[in-house]
Chain A
Amino acid sequence: MKMKRASKIYTALIMIFLFAPIAILLVFSFNEAKSLSVFTGFSLKWYRELFRDTETLRAVLNTLLLAVSASLVSTVMGTAAAVGINKLRNKVLRSTLDSVTNIPMINPDIITGISLMLMFVFVGRLFGAATSLSFWTMLISHITFCLPYVILQVLPKLQQMDKALPEAAMDLGCTPLRAFFKAELPEIMPGVITGLIMAFTMSLDDFVISYFTAGNGFQTLPIRIYSMTKKTVTPKMYALATIIFFVILSLLLLSNFYDEEAMNKRRQKKKSKEKQPQAPNVKLKTQN
């Protein structure tokens, strides 16, 4: 279906609104001067300065470390939880668990952050520690807000799966545990992977909860950006933003490319079945 002219113009306007600020950051990251409104000449000096900023580089590493650990732990625990929830026959228990799972997604991040911080501080004081906030409190917090997203991705896959699959595997000689890995896990794998990716990006991106639960010694990139933007504005920030933008862009293009490959393969397989445009199941974390 061809888009009508008015639709095209409208979409273009929205895209300008969405991308103009990013474009400006891009352009001014190469500005020679410190000015935010006048482009005086091309230069890479802000990039050079960024790469000399060890604190920011350390923050990048910290962020990755945190995101990898949080997403792995939450994916394993969340997948197991989804399997358990799916088998739960007790309705009261099930709806209670569902509501609790929803809390971190519905609650504003600031409340999740404050609540975890209050508990950590209280427990820390109980043990006489001056400050209990550290990498570990942050990791716990990140796992906590990632878990619901993993569960939400895996649970529908389990519900769609033919309940007889694990039974068939057991029938053919698998123990229940082996049946899970050989018959059930391959079926729900797409959900597990999406859950892992979502958990990873959520953790990477989080500022608010990290802000409240981070210890002094451990700084993530968003917290670093926050402290950078608190002081005087330098175009070093723009350089950082530009790099982040291109990393995200290439990741998105790559995943889109793989999606399309997979879609093409599926299409070849099921020639008879008509494929409808797939709407993504959008469940996103809102920030701040």
Chain B
Amino acid sequence: MNDKTRRLIQRLTLTPYSVWAVLFIVVPLLFVAYYAFTDQNFHFTFDNISRFFTATSVVDNGETTREVHTYLVIFMRSLKLAVISTVVCLVMGYPLAYIMARASERTQSVLLTLIMIPMWMNFLIRTYAWMTILQDTGILNGFLSALHLGRIHIIGTESAVVIGMVYDYFPYMVLPIYSIMAKLDVKLLEAASDLGCPGLSVLRRVIWPLSIPGVLSGITMVLIPSISTFYISQKLGNGKFFLIGDAIEGQYTANNLHFAAAIAFILMVILLVCMALMQKLANRRLVAA
């Protein structure tokens, strides 16, 4: 192919997508910043951003009352629950990915299908199912009282939200780790045992370091949706402004678009910094290895 046709083809194939990407990926993000830094009349202001950091509310737990920074508390809670869910997913998912990768070809494909089935169910339905299970009058409590074990109140607590997040995002942790592990050369493991590595040591010194790219992508794929969710917290958690996603959604429904944009903007910046740090960490690990 000569240069002229090559350039023509490039222009024909790339232009539609490039225009689309600028119009509907880049420009909308600029609008987030624009709304975040303007007021109702589109005059420049820092108020929306500073409101995120300074807005306070009063927490009353019966005996004492104290004033807290509303959005900072919400953000820290989101971060905490997202991190806990991610860790739980990793701890639960890593062994499963390992077991799957070592299983026979047939078992692998069966397990893979089984893991993907719940994933293709809409997450609203999945979350909703847990709500019916965890409710005070739900199946779990029905089960417990049938066994005369008493009832537990779990709906509306942070634990319920973590259960929901783990359930919804668990496949996103398992699949990337599994796909890395399945590609690991069996000979590599044999070489390691041949070099006198006992089983557990093979796991620690060979499999784990090699699976880190999968683990990192699993972490991103669980952490990001769980930090920004709003449906799970609405159904399984309690209160209107439980997580940062709820805050954005709440401001949106209240038609406070500028403040919603400000929260989204701050969340985006924080996530960007986190991702950059993680990338750096991953690179350093790769260099070290």
Contacts and interface: CB of A to CB of B under 8 A. Distances in A.
A21 B276 CA distance: 37
B17 A241 contact: no
A138 interface: no
Contacts of B77: none
B159 interface: no
22 contacts: A3-B103, A3-B107, A11-B99, A14-B96, A28-B132, A84-B10, A84-B17, A108-B225, A108-B267, A110-B249, A111-B228, A116-B24, A118-B261, A143-B20, A201-B120, A225-B125, A241-B129, A245-B117, A248-B120, A277-B108, A280-B175, A284-B172
Contacts of A28: 132
Contacts of A88: 10, 14
Interface stretch (A45-53, A64-72, A98-106, A186-194): A98-106
A280 B132 contact: no
Contacts, number: 261
A249 interface: yes
B232 A288 contact: yes
A87 interface: yes
Contact of A212 (B27, B252, B271): B252
Interface in B218-245: 220-222, 224-225, 227-232, 235, 245
Interface of A: 1-3, 7, 10-11, 14-15, 17-22, 24-25, 28, 36-38, 77-78, 80-81, 83-85, 87-88, 97, 100-101, 103-104, 106-112, 114-119, 121-122, 140-141, 143-144, 147, 151, 166-167, 170, 176, 201, 205, 207-208, 212, 221-222, 225-226, 229, 233, 237, 240-241, 244-245, 248-249, 252-253, 256, 259-260, 277-282, 284, 286-288
Determine which residue in B27, B132, B221 has the highest number of CB atoms from chain A within 10 A of its CB, and name it. B132
B142 A37 contact: yes
B1 A167 contact: yes
Nearest to B14: A84
Contacts of B252: 114, 117, 212
A201 B135 CA distance: 31
B179 A1 contact: no
B129 A205 contact: no
Q: Is the interface of A mostly helix, strand, loop or mixed?
A: helix
B137 interface: yes
B231 A226 contact: yes
Nearest to A112: B28
Nearest to B128: A229
A169 to B, nearest CB: 11
B6 interface: yes
A7 B121 contact: no
B139 interface: yes
Contacts of B139: 24, 36-37
A20 B143 CA distance: 13
A142 B245 CA distance: 20
Contacts of A245: 117, 121
Contacts of A212: 252
B75 interface: no
Nearest to B28: A115
A144 B119 CA distance: 22
Nearest to B32: A115
Contacts of A37: 137-139, 141-142
